[in-house]
Chain A
């Protein structure tokens, strides 16, 4: 699974969140070797092969990784990596590490 980020369209902060989210979701794909590239518009279920039940685990990992609290209603309507990025972007109080390239 290779992450492709459109550098012109995303802020450094969103690029960083996206990259971290790809690390998290890559462990939940049913067939990661078949996924190829993922972009912000990749759909969690159809493009990456994430079982809908695993969204709960992805949320828990995101909460742990970014030290945020995400209520269950925020899960509704999340379909793409960009949706996830937005959810984290709105809640994360941290800053992008200086060594993030």
Chain B
């Protein structure tokens, strides 16, 4: 019998909130985390708005060692805060920082789509260009390695399981949770801190601005800019942040009396192979549908059990085809198409961090009993008008029992997870 996997801790650093309770409030009230950033205007971005977590320096100082300014970058800092919050939320304490005890039963997988781009831009490139390599010091590798965030978490928490990072563009966060889930289901770990992070990184966002896929025309009204499923969508809003969940063997979680937010039932990842409409920038329909079907199968649920789809839904041309793909998967059960929401409407697209941040949102909706709204879809795409009541503008007081979280990314990669309300028992 395979091991069931519970979610026993949450940590979140999102553009619209830091911390589980604040994030739930933001989701329920539809509070936007998107604002205008003068730096982007100075850098001549067409899109001068972004979703960037507002973490004060004084907050960093309470979480980190004194050397954090030179040993971390924004992505690592967001991930480390989320992971430490998550660890404590799950009921665990901080280890002795100078002790030698290691928890070999807990692994870490914290992915990132881009990684330490800000370190390259602000530190590495100027020093190399000016032939001042000697002055870089010892802390560049730990900031630019893709596993930098996961390593810092292992350091602070003395964790000794499989500690690593995954990277698969905008499916990274969803994929990281699936990777952690598989570690536990297959008996290789009791617990995995799983999540993803993305720094506030103008160097990364510049390429998307140049591609003309970032939202334009909303610099004066940033809270209206991220418009998934809207007829006036004008591209996605870049964002940053991190989400981390503690995945734990259900049996072990019950044994220690842990609070259980929800269960992760299973999921799938795949690639469309750049065929059937798939490309570097667009998902191919066949690959997407195979991924969604495989996820439902892996979770051992019926398609009609799904009460909510937390979509990838970025505010680009791909939104309509994403819904078409779900329609195809529901097939003869189309009349049972569940509620759909688009978390990016509230805080933008956090790229590699999106799947983890949005999974935290899903878990909170299951645990606390609500479905958050998609407020900027007020002028819904004409071809989706018949789904208006399935895509709420404001939060509903409905507790979803089974939720699908899907993500799609550059490279024609797809990912989907299935979460379920926990109702007691382990058999």
Stretch in contact with the other chain, from A8-16, A51-59, A88-96: A51-59
Least CB distance, A17 to chain B, in whole angstroms: 21
Interface residues of A in 48-87 (CB under 8 A from B): 49, 53-57, 60
CB within 8 Å for A28 and B98 given contacts A56-B137, A57-B138, A60-B135: no
- Kindly state the separation between the CA atoms of A49 and B138 in the bound complex, as whole angstroms: 16
CB within 8 Å for A27 and B67 given contacts A53-B138, A57-B137, A60-B135: yes
Asked if A32 and B65 make an inter-chain contact with CB atoms under 8 angstroms apart, the answer reads: yes
Number of A-B residue pairs, CB cutoff 8 Å, is 31
Asked if B139 and A57 make an inter-chain contact with CB atoms under 8 angstroms apart, the answer reads: yes
Size of the chain B interface, CB-CB below 8 angstroms: 10
Interface residues of B in 53-109 (CB under 8 A from A): 65-67, 70, 97-98
- Kindly state the separation between the CA atoms of A56 and B139 in the bound complex, as whole angstroms: 9
Chain B residues with Cβ under 8 A from A31's Cβ?
A: 65, 97-98
Interface of A is mostly: helix
Pick the most buried of B137, B138, B139: most chain A CB atoms within 10 A of its CB.
B138
Chain B residues with Cβ under 8 A from A49's Cβ?
A: 97-98
Residue of B nearest to A63 (CB): B135
Asked if B137 and A30 make an inter-chain contact with CB atoms under 8 angstroms apart, the answer reads: no
| Chain A 11-47: CB-based contact to B (< 8 A → 1; otherwise 0) | 0000000000000001111111010000000000000
Least CB distance, B195 to chain A, in whole angstroms: 24
Chain A residues with Cβ under 8 A from B139's Cβ?
A: 57
Asked if B137 and A34 make an inter-chain contact with CB atoms under 8 angstroms apart, the answer reads: no
Residue of B nearest to A57 (CB): B137
Least CB distance, B126 to chain A, in whole angstroms: 16
Residue of A nearest to B68 (CB): A27
Q: Of B67, B70, B98, B135, which one neighbours A34 at CB under 8 angstroms?
A: B98
Q: Of B66, B97, B135, which one neighbours A27 at CB under 8 angstroms?
A: B66
Chain A residues with Cβ under 8 A from B138's Cβ?
A: 53-57
Q: Of A27, A30, A54, A57, which one neighbours B98 at CB under 8 angstroms?
A: A30
- Kindly state the separation between the CA atoms of A20 and B72 in the bound complex, as whole angstroms: 25
Least CB distance, A25 to chain B, in whole angstroms: 10
- Kindly state the separation between the CA atoms of A49 and B97 in the bound complex, as whole angstroms: 10
Chain A residues with Cβ under 8 A from B65's Cβ?
A: 29-32
Chain B residues with Cβ under 8 A from A60's Cβ?
A: 135, 137
7 cross-chain pairs, A with B, having the tightest CB-CB distances, nearest first: A31-B97, A27-B66, A57-B137, A56-B138, A53-B138, A31-B98, A27-B67
Residue pairs across A and B with Cβ atoms less than 8 A apart, 10 shown, are A26-B66, A28-B66, A29-B66, A30-B98, A31-B65, A31-B97, A34-B98, A49-B97, A54-B67, A56-B137
